[in-house]
Amino acid sequence: MQQSITWGDAPLSWQQLNAVARGSATLALSQQAWARIDNGRAIVAQIVAQGTVAYGINTGLGALCNITLAEEELGQLSRNTLLSHACGVGEPLQTAEVRAIICAAIANYSQGKSGISAAIVQGLLDLLNHDITPQVPAQGSVGYLTHMAHIGLALIGIGEVKVGGQTLAASEALARAGLKPCNPGAKEGLSLVNGTPCMTGLSCLALGDAARLLDWADVTGAMSFEALRGQLDAFDSEILALKGSAGVQLVGTRLRALLSDSQILTGSKGLRTQDALSLRSIPQIHGACRDQFAYVARQVEAELNAATDNPLVLGTPAEWRVVSQANPHGESVAMAADQLAIALAELGSVAERRLDRLINPLVSGLPAFLVAKPGVNSGMMIAQYVAASLCGENRQLAQPAVLDNFVTSGLQEDHLSMGTSSARKLLKLAANVTQILAIEYLLAAQALDFHDAERCAAGTGQAWRRLRERVDNWQDDRWLAPEIARAAALIAADAPVISAAGICGTNKVEAF
């Protein structure tokens, strides 16, 4: 059963946006939010009636801001804005990505500072709640404009949408749902393409992916540590507390919970003075990534709860202000998304170093490439190549997009955040890390088989059993790609939860 979420009376969270974007919740706005929207729209109507010149309400846009328009032209300006700005290229965004952008736009408009009408906001809610997904080309945004323009076209019955996996004309999809196309008025075309909903919505989705990957990395890392007979002293709580990082201490707690009752590690105590850094620094590396995640989540949620249009309308219809400013500039989200990309690239990088040690008999103490009969069998040899390739791609994706800059709109917009590019590459990078952790999961489970997995700790043992329900132990070479896909599907489905007793479970009710 879908959860029902109402926005408008309290700050919004990235988790709430994820629930709506992923289809597990429906969305509504509170009475207070609708009242704010109506107040903002009344201010726009007052400005138009008085004939006061205000950017974007009765003027041209961007470099055309000094051209004043007659009242009868304002609706056509809004329509033309959507048509001219809907010029994205490339493959369409995924359904959840489009829905995330729509959610962030609704959050923006719920502030009541955009001057957009309740009818347009209701139209966006209808797209979400009737599962009508505009087809939005992925490329073409320097931070805003093109993505929301394609969404705005669907509102007026132009372009294509997806409904239940079927591609339809927007006009037909609206008619089937009993909905009428919207008729945007003064400022509404600009409000629909303006602001930071694209980068903010996509970054919220990426936060959901990152939170899950951070949790899974602790599990796969613990399995590798156990299979390589690591020394638990490195995870000592008193030592980790001296680092002064909440993330480091959290990872240490999770690792101790996963590994504390491992017979494999008990029998290997004192085997070596210290382990390689990819093993003994799991708390420090994963913890640093968690600290970055916490900072990024605060930045993205701040933007999700912001008013990001230009211009913004303030006050009441009797006493109003309209202010041209730069809230649509998404520098904070762009920098945050780039920062999280670096953190996730590091999470994948250290996982690749661990899984490389698993297949190397010079350091693992295990059969070469984790197969009982190496030579005639290549085992897990090439899986490490794949992980290395993904790490190489992640290094490219982790380059900050925010540092790129261009000049647009006839010198009027001469510094751009590139925040949507930051968010899009972050999502791609997170997908790569999912595959890297899936490979580590496969290899660590295979390595534990050589130790007798019944001697595993409770938490890692449950993770091992969950995988073995879908992927058998390797004896002879077989097609590996589908098995990586099965492991990746497990990682993509849910985030594991680790209790103090070392039991690993999903964030659903059933056990891991």
Q: Residue 454, Cβ neighbours under 10 Å: how many?
A: 9
Residue 429 CB partners (closer than 8 Å, separation 6+): 341, 344, 345, 348, 394, 397, 398
In the block, tokens 């320097």 appear at 142
Distances (CA, A) of 59 to 9, 42, 47, 139, 144: 33, 18, 12, 28, 20
Residue 94 CB partners (closer than 8 Å, separation 6+): none
Residue 258 CB partners (closer than 8 Å, separation 6+): 218, 219, 222, 457, 459, 460, 498, 502, 504
- The per-residue DSSP string of 210-270 comes to HHHHHHHHHHHHHHHHHHTT--GGGG-HHHHHTT--HHHHHHHHHHHHHHTT-HHHHHTTT
Q: Which residues of 312-344 are buried (b: 16+ CB within 10 A; e: fewer)?
A: bbeeebeebebeeeebbbbbbbbbbbbbbbbbb
- The per-residue DSSP string of 92-113 comes to EPPHHHHHHHHHHHHHHHTTS-
Find the angle CA(268)-CA(269)-CA(271) to the nearest 5 degrees. Answer: 65
Single out the catalytic residue among 55, 109, 144, 441. 55
295 included as an active-site residue: no
In the block, tokens 């964030």 appear at 507
Task: Please state, in angstroms and rounded to a whole number, the distance separating the CA atoms of residues 489 and 483.
Answer: 10
**Amino acid found at 434:** T
- The per-residue DSSP string of 27-81 comes to EEE-HHHHHHHHHHHHHHHHHHHHT---TTTSB--GGGTT-B--GGGHHHHHHHH
Q: Residue 176, Cβ neighbours under 10 Å: how many?
A: 12
Task: Please state, in angstroms and rounded to a whole number, the distance separating the CA atoms of residues 29 and 6.
Answer: 5
Which residues are catalytically annotated? Answer: 55
